[in-house]
A and B are shown apart, each in its own frame.
Chain A
């Protein structure tokens, strides 16, 4: 099946997310759609999948115009999509999930024909070597296996074109390799695969054709032989340095001491098990790991957002455990939360008010319990300029900003007071390359000012680029702390739980 998009345009209000996009996907090939976050890749695929209506342009399947009214039409036409966030019913088995929406029935009583669905799961799983048990309950499966269930779902609907939306964001490096192998296999069996990604490594590994999108427009096509630098500059629109310039670290005294820290969730399951480490002043400790292995709990436990079941946290010799969040923050911790829209910003508040969210009751922003709006605004104007927040003004709401600019607001706030420790979780998630460079620069700058820095990131590239030491987490434990020049394969295996000596 040959798919062609002709002049597809999609607007949201005055914002043009896709501008006259042409794209041809040939059967039996892997087509990478490369672009930064916010470039319009997902929007395009949602148009293709029938989730959005295109304002202009047409979609051709085998040369015939196809108007998809919804995902159902697209699936019927042979297009399958694996979303970035999986669309699975967790308490259901694999076979039940695969059957979902296309339930087959048998007999006069119209009973569900689960047997048939199980057979199909087994057949597809065996054909591609997925090792997925049709009777396994989805919530018990690893993220990689859940993704394979999604692929089986699409294939069981006889998808001839499979769209994978940022499929590797949630995978370990090893799982990524497995997925890429699957993609190749699918291609060889005649399926067309559209791979949406901003990761150059993957594109180079599997793509047959590359289309680069920037700000909603196709800015060029490339062959997989193109270098990373070439692809990156095409994607960003200027030359980009792929590494972080940072001077040699000059670690000082131990600033943060974490000892035997244990955190339980609401059902008393340990999320963080007996974790101990130190961070020195003027040093960046990057925490690597697949999401959900205790990194979030670690940062939140240091701040005191989640209660600790055991262990202590000491900052500059002072015990933090058991203190109020307010006191912890004021003792010199800057905190950039993982989910900035949920925990970092009040979307309906102005930028100026967001900039004082944790210091609104401190001088000079207030005096005797009374806010000083003029000071708040003038300080905000300074910060907006210094951190290059692109906005119409400090009274604009934080919710109206792009992700990168929101992150700059959070950083500006956290770095506006003297820090002993900066904790930044996923500091560049969803940011464009330009903002990433800026954020990295400010983080390194804070280190060089003598703060201890903890970075949590699920992007291995970021971890390697920033770290002075790397702590790898798995199942709520620190597997090991290794130097930043440890090779990626070793790190990848450690992220899956293997110790360094075993991994190497």
Chain B
């Protein structure tokens, strides 16, 4: 595992955002439309499909640009392209920040008498925005105590935890050729089952947490199994079925929350009782920091997924089916078995993302339990090129972007949406490697070596 490291290099610093996982289910509409749009206009770069020979073969090999070939292209794009995509989106984000800044507009009003004012206002707006993001996400050098200095990073890791889990699940699917948009629903179902175990049962320390985690896995896996079996048996496309199952999961949860069994006695809001302390992930850095054991479970899961995909025969089968289903079938692999298993595993991992929420940061079930994690995780998985290590870094980057939102708003006076814009720009550039290669004048890659890790 080597060629994958990407340092989340974000500019400078300001403020510690003490923000817990806010339940902002509103972002997801925007996010999902970006991504679904991406799936039907596949990349127009050389697909990985045997281009080495095009010397003579007449037309260069441009295969049907379906979602599968786009997935392949994205998962095989180089680390450099990913880093440059992040860079490009920060630059464009900077331009948008300038345009959104009140000071710049004011200064531009007298541009011809004092042009320097405009430029310094531009610089101020961008530098204060990005320094607020840095301070809110990673390290707040202005704080008094060391604990306060590192608090932003601890928050970031906490926010990254569910993204790691869900990103890992989606990454497996992407590499196996499945465009699973259903992490959101799988997270919801995982959280629901886990929460039921958490507040309805009362078990001893240790055991209760274990059973609750298993409940989360089970709930998510069940919600992954449905599109998996539908695709395997009927050919129903997973993009459609998983999107629809997201709605079903959300509304099922909303319905459950209307039942007496799920209602917190002392509350008028639709939410369940707080989960038993025994069923919650313990806070590893003491109660004052939100980081919980789930983060380490996520790292363990990342290693497990690496092992599954690179070392086990099952993972070999998943990868082969994803890269070329017809050759895999001809070699005796069962594409439908792989489809079902991948969806179950992906669902289980998404269910663990639900556990990071309901057994971790937000130990009570509400309709906003999954926030927009299931959709952000798609970006995380793509950004991490579907490789576990890449996903961990991408999740931390996204956790950071998320954690920095409040700081951005308070310190730089910018709308929190800028974060979302930067996120979306990253996706846009990642989904179009030829664009990034064009912008930075990179040569077209040759797929000489098999991509691993």
- Mark A residues whose CB is within 8 Å of B: 12-13, 15, 17, 37-43, 46, 51, 83-85, 165, 303, 305, 324-330, 335, 337, 341-350, 353, 356-358, 360-361, 366, 369-371, 373, 392, 395-403, 406
| Chain B residues closer than 8 Å to A328, beta-carbon distance | 332
- Write the B30-49 contact mask toward A (1 if CB under 8 angstroms, else 0): 00000000000000000011
Are A397 and B56 in contact (CB-based, < 8 A)? no
Task: Give the shortest distance, in Å, between B381 (CB) and chain A (any CB).
Answer: 18
| Chain A residues closer than 8 Å to B324, beta-carbon distance | 342, 345-348
- Using a Cβ cutoff of 8 Å, how many contacts connect chains A and B? 138
Answer whether A392 and B328 are a contact pair too, CB < 8 Å, given A38-B56, A42-B56, A399-B52. no
**A348 is contacted by which of B56, B76, B317, B334 (Cβ under 8 Å)?**
B76
Task: Give the shortest distance, in Å, between B80 (CB) and chain A (any CB).
Answer: 18
What is the bound-complex CA distance between A328 and B319, given in angstroms?
Answer: 22
Task: Give the shortest distance, in Å, between B295 (CB) and chain A (any CB).
Answer: 28
- Write the B350-377 contact mask toward A (1 if CB under 8 angstroms, else 0): 0000000000000000000000000000
Task: Give the shortest distance, in Å, between A491 (CB) and chain B (any CB).
Answer: 29
Are B332 and A330 in contact (CB-based, < 8 A)? yes
Are A399 and B50 in contact (CB-based, < 8 A)? yes
Are A357 and B331 in contact (CB-based, < 8 A)? yes
| Chain A residues closer than 8 Å to B447, beta-carbon distance | 347-348, 397, 399-400
- Mark B residues whose CB is within 8 Å of A: 48-59, 72, 76, 310-314, 316-317, 319-320, 323-324, 326-334, 446-451
Are A360 and B56 in contact (CB-based, < 8 A)? no
Task: Give the shortest distance, in Å, between B70 (CB) and chain A (any CB).
Answer: 14
Are A326 and B313 in contact (CB-based, < 8 A)? no
Task: Give the shortest distance, in Å, between A326 (CB) and chain B (any CB).
Answer: 4
Are A342 and B448 in contact (CB-based, < 8 A)? no
What is the bound-complex CA distance between A341 and B53, given in angstroms?
Answer: 11
What is the bound-complex CA distance between A398 and B450, given in angstroms?
Answer: 9
What is the bound-complex CA distance between A303 and B448, given in angstroms?
Answer: 32
What is the bound-complex CA distance between A401 and B330, given in angstroms?
Answer: 20
User: For the complex, would chain B's binding face be called helix, strand, loop or mixed by DSSP majority?
Assistant: loop
In the complex, the chain A residue whose C-beta lies closest to that of B444 is A13
| Chain A residues closer than 8 Å to B334, beta-carbon distance | 324, 326
In the complex, the chain A residue whose C-beta lies closest to that of B319 is A349
In the complex, the chain B residue whose C-beta lies closest to that of A35 is B56
| Chain B residues closer than 8 Å to A348, beta-carbon distance | 48, 72, 76, 323-324, 447, 450-451
Are A361 and B326 in contact (CB-based, < 8 A)? no
What is the bound-complex CA distance between A15 and B448, given in angstroms?
Answer: 14
Are B55 and A15 in contact (CB-based, < 8 A)? yes
Are B327 and A353 in contact (CB-based, < 8 A)? no
Answer whether A360 and B316 are a contact pair too, CB < 8 Å, given A392-B448, A400-B447. yes
Are A342 and B449 in contact (CB-based, < 8 A)? no
- Sample 16 A-B pairs with CB under 8 A, ordered by A number: A12-B54, A17-B55, A38-B55, A40-B56, A42-B58, A46-B58, A341-B50, A343-B326, A347-B447, A348-B76, A348-B324, A370-B312, A397-B449, A397-B450, A399-B51, A400-B446
In the complex, the chain A residue whose C-beta lies closest to that of B76 is A348
| Chain A residues closer than 8 Å to B451, beta-carbon distance | 348
Answer whether A329 and B311 are a contact pair too, CB < 8 Å, given A43-B56, A360-B316. no
Most chain A CB neighbours (cut-off 10 Å) among B310, B319, B326, B331? B331
Task: Give the shortest distance, in Å, between B385 (CB) and chain A (any CB).
Answer: 13
| Chain B residues closer than 8 Å to A40, beta-carbon distance | 55-56
| Chain A residues closer than 8 Å to B311, beta-carbon distance | 370-371, 373
Are B53 and A38 in contact (CB-based, < 8 A)? yes
| Chain A residues closer than 8 Å to B448, beta-carbon distance | 392, 396-397, 400
| Chain B residues closer than 8 Å to A330, beta-carbon distance | 332
What is the bound-complex CA distance between A18 and B55, given in angstroms?
Answer: 9
Task: Give the shortest distance, in Å, between A54 (CB) and chain B (any CB).
Answer: 15
Answer whether A371 and B53 are a contact pair too, CB < 8 Å, given A83-B58, A305-B330, A400-B447. no
Are A361 and B327 in contact (CB-based, < 8 A)? no
Task: Give the shortest distance, in Å, between A125 (CB) and chain B (any CB).
Answer: 28
Are A42 and B57 in contact (CB-based, < 8 A)? yes
In the complex, the chain B residue whose C-beta lies closest to that of A304 is B332
Most chain A CB neighbours (cut-off 10 Å) among B310, B327, B447? B327
| Chain B residues closer than 8 Å to A305, beta-carbon distance | 329-330
List 4 A-B pairs, minimum CB-CB distance, nearest first.
Answer: A326-B332, A358-B331, A350-B450, A357-B331
Task: Give the shortest distance, in Å, between A293 (CB) and chain B (any CB).
Answer: 21
**B49 is contacted by which of A38, A327, A341, A400 (Cβ under 8 Å)?**
A341
In the complex, the chain A residue whose C-beta lies closest to that of B451 is A348
Are A343 and B320 in contact (CB-based, < 8 A)? no
What is the bound-complex CA distance between A361 and B332, given in angstroms?
Answer: 11
Task: Give the shortest distance, in Å, between B9 (CB) and chain A (any CB).
Answer: 29
What is the bound-complex CA distance between A39 and B55, given in angstroms?
Answer: 9
Are A84 and B58 in contact (CB-based, < 8 A)? yes
What is the bound-complex CA distance between A36 and B84, given in angstroms?
Answer: 42
In the complex, the chain B residue whose C-beta lies closest to that of A393 is B449
Most chain A CB neighbours (cut-off 10 Å) among B53, B447, B448? B53
| Chain B residues closer than 8 Å to A401, beta-carbon distance | 52
Are A329 and B450 in contact (CB-based, < 8 A)? no
Task: Give the shortest distance, in Å, between B52 (CB) and chain A (any CB).
Answer: 4
Answer whether A347 and B49 are a contact pair too, CB < 8 Å, given A12-B54, A17-B56, A357-B331. yes
In the complex, the chain B residue whose C-beta lies closest to that of A342 is B326
Are A353 and B449 in contact (CB-based, < 8 A)? no
| Chain A residues closer than 8 Å to B310, beta-carbon distance | 371
Are B323 and A349 in contact (CB-based, < 8 A)? yes
**B328 is contacted by which of A38, A357, A366, A373 (Cβ under 8 Å)?**
A357
Are B316 and A303 in contact (CB-based, < 8 A)? no
In the complex, the chain A residue whose C-beta lies closest to that of B56 is A38
| Chain B residues closer than 8 Å to A349, beta-carbon distance | 319-320, 323, 450
Are B72 and A325 in contact (CB-based, < 8 A)? no
What is the bound-complex CA distance between A12 and B333, given in angstroms?
Answer: 36
Are B56 and A346 in contact (CB-based, < 8 A)? no
In the complex, the chain A residue whose C-beta lies closest to that of B315 is A371
| Chain B residues closer than 8 Å to A357, beta-carbon distance | 320, 327-328, 331
| Chain B residues closer than 8 Å to A370, beta-carbon distance | 311-313
Are B313 and A165 in contact (CB-based, < 8 A)? no
| Chain B residues closer than 8 Å to A329, beta-carbon distance | 331-332
Task: Give the shortest distance, in Å, between B114 (CB) and chain A (any CB).
Answer: 51
Task: Give the shortest distance, in Å, between B334 (CB) and chain A (any CB).
Answer: 7
| Chain A residues closer than 8 Å to B72, beta-carbon distance | 348
Are B333 and A369 in contact (CB-based, < 8 A)? no
What is the bound-complex CA distance between A398 and B330, given in angstroms?
Answer: 17
Are B333 and A326 in contact (CB-based, < 8 A)? yes
In the complex, the chain A residue whose C-beta lies closest to that of B55 is A17
Are A37 and B56 in contact (CB-based, < 8 A)? yes
Task: Give the shortest distance, in Å, between B167 (CB) and chain A (any CB).
Answer: 21
What is the bound-complex CA distance between A225 and B54, given in angstroms?
Answer: 33
